[in-house]
Structure 1
Amino acid sequence: MNAFDSQAARALPASRPACARAAFLVSPAGESLAAESASDNVYMDLSRVFSSDRARAQHQGLQRALSTELPVISFAGDPAAPDGMFPNNVFGTRAGTLIIGQMRHRVRQLEAERSDIRGFFTDVLGYATVDLRGGEVGELTGSLVIDRARGIGYAGLGERCTSAAAQAMAQAFDLRMLQQAALAPGEYHTNVVMAVLAGRVAVLCADGWADPKVADAIAAVYAPQVLWLEPEQKAAFAANCISLRDDSVWMSATAADVLSPTQRTQLQTGGLRIRSVELDEIEKAGGSLRCCVGEIF
């Protein structure tokens, strides 16, 4: 683990917007899962039957649900890029700027070439672009969990994020502080092992990191508002959650179902109402609700 001062991180003012002002999704389009992505995503199981119709229906339900809290737009999926329904790995934003990430797999690199999504941000919203393609692999807010309020990034290093990429992403997102540390063997994205909700509640699974002390250092920033997960809860995507406004947290029904009554109470004590939708078909692709949500700041 690189030097990370939890006390200094805790002291950073929560002076930036903690939650996005809008969100965007990309609808499921592939009739099967991306075998290339499954090579380093243990949450995928290609032996399971995947129903694209059911995935699309669940995705539409997700859009309707999220739209009760903020504006949500959805782009059509591309059958040649079945992982496109997880756009937060490829496209990210800070205020006035679109960020394009460098994906590891070619099947995902295709997503960054979409002129409609890029054009929406540049031509419609007038955003500038920071294009990280050509640099080292760093899969944006899959690999980098961001406390937007304080401007802190937590990067999990591995096959889908290098140290150099973490630093480039931190600069692109205009972060004040960066912690980077190796994920545990078998973990592919940081947002499967942790989340920061509304800038004040951390969700953590210690065994998601090669060194469990990494989780302790992160927890010290948010104590006592820390929700610790067991490995089986992590496997059910309980850490793959997001707050889209200050008083709620979104997660899949699978994730919500594995939370204990004590954990539910803890989130509520932290001022977060649990909201969930069925996404079990989409979760067969190795990601869950947070992965589906592109944030517009």
Structure 2
Amino acid sequence: MLTRDPEAFLAHVQGLSHDFGPATAKAAFLVSPDGFARAEESAQDNRYMAGAGDFDAGTALAQHHDLQAALSSERPVLCFPGAPATPDAVFPNNVFATVAGRTVIGRMRHPVRQREAERADIRGFFSQVMGYAETDLSGQPHVCELTGALVIDRARGIGFCGLSERCDAQGAALMHEALGLRATLLFDLAPGEYHTNVVLAVLAGRAALFSAAGFADPAVPEVLQALYGPHAIALSRQEHADFAGNAISLSPHSVWMSQRAASALTPATRQGLQAAGFAVRAVDLSALEAGGGSLRCCVAEIF
């Protein structure tokens, strides 16, 4: 099912079993912030990006190393080098996504990011080392920025896809098919939002962090409340602004976010995560957040 109808989507997915696949990834990969700088093309539709003078490449590199070391305490985490020609490559989850045995390569909106999809080393790792088949969407005309635009509940095999300049309806349909999802709900993001994963995180298939202000249709948060029940945690506007929605679970028992996001959490949000069985783990990514994304954006999952 691929639909814009929240009620039809909810009726369909409420009966689905949590047997689509593992709820969390078996490994992850990062791309180093070598040449990390403001990409003016990306800044056109990313209001979270800082000014050029606020980019500190040295600190970003050190924080990125700390991120890899921290995440490696839970899962194997690889890191590919970056390059000055691709200053946004530190956010690889927009370009590469996986399901068991398959890699999907997305179609980025901006040329500066389209170059990331051409990387022979990352493609070769999955095809030659992992033995994964490849679905390459990068050459077709419909924008589909993978798990930036599409937040996936891997346990149920369902997706939540926000439409914006970074993903159109046909691009969403291509991602839905390539990832073999059972059902995907399409909706418009609120004006000024560029990626769904800034306003929504599904955690290990049993909880959700969301900012109601990030959705144009109030029915979408209602779907999340109905699906995830007491573990659907509504974020405040301040938590949203500080990237608390840009979080990820790499194991069933923890949620990772930046230190900025963790510091913004209200007592109610912390209590909600604890009740859902998640310990909050945080890494200082203040320099990397100048690029307009946070921890979840840095992590490309390997299923």
Q: Give the structure-1-normalised TM-score.
A: 0.98
Aligned position for 1:106: 111
Q: Which ranges of structure 2 fall in alignment gaps of 5 or more residues?
A: none
Aligned position for 1:145: 151
Question: d(CA) in 2 for partners of 1:135 and 1:216?
Answer: 33
Question: d(CA) in 2 for partners of 1:19 and 1:32?
Answer: 31
Q: Give the number of equivalent residue pairs.
A: 297
Aligned position for 2:16: 12
Deviation per CA, 1:157-204, whole angstroms, max 9, x where unpaired?
Answer: 011001111111011111000100000010000000001000000111
Deviation of 1:289 after TM superposition, in Å, equals: 0.2
Which stretch of the first structure deviates more once superposed, 23-32 or 44-53?
44-53
Runs (4+) off by over 3 Å: none
Deviation of 1:212 after TM superposition, in Å, equals: 1.9
Which stretch of the first structure deviates more once superposed, 56-65 or 217-226?
217-226
Deviation of 1:10 after TM superposition, in Å, equals: 2.4
Question: d(CA) in 2 for partners of 1:221 and 1:136?
Answer: 30
Q: Does 1:188 align with 2:194?
A: yes
Amino acid at match of 1:266: G
Q: Give the structure-2-normalised TM-score.
A: 0.96
Aligned position for 1:50: 55
Aligned position for 2:66: 61
Amino acid at match of 1:179: L
Deviation of 1:231 after TM superposition, in Å, equals: 1.6
Conserved in 2, the CA contact under 8 Å of 1:48 and 1:284?
no
- Note the 1:158-237 alignment, pairs <5 A: 158-237=164-243
Deviation of 1:235 after TM superposition, in Å, equals: 1.0
Question: d(CA) in 2 for partners of 1:57 and 1:176?
Answer: 40
Which stretch of the first structure deviates more once superposed, 213-222 or 99-108?
213-222
Question: d(CA) in 1 for partners of 2:28 and 2:55?
Answer: 26
Question: d(CA) in 2 for partners of 1:236 and 1:11?
Answer: 34
Q: Does 1:248 align with 2:254?
A: yes
Amino acid at match of 2:193: E
Conserved in 1, the CA contact under 8 Å of 2:204 and 2:252?
yes
Aligned position for 1:78: 83
Aligned position for 1:33: 38
Question: d(CA) in 2 for partners of 1:219 and 1:78?
Answer: 41
Question: d(CA) in 2 for partners of 1:191 and 1:103?
Answer: 16
Which one of the candidate residues 3, 11, 14 is aligned to 2:5?
A: 3
SS of residue paired to 1:79: coil
Which stretch of the first structure deviates more once superposed, 25-34 or 242-251?
25-34
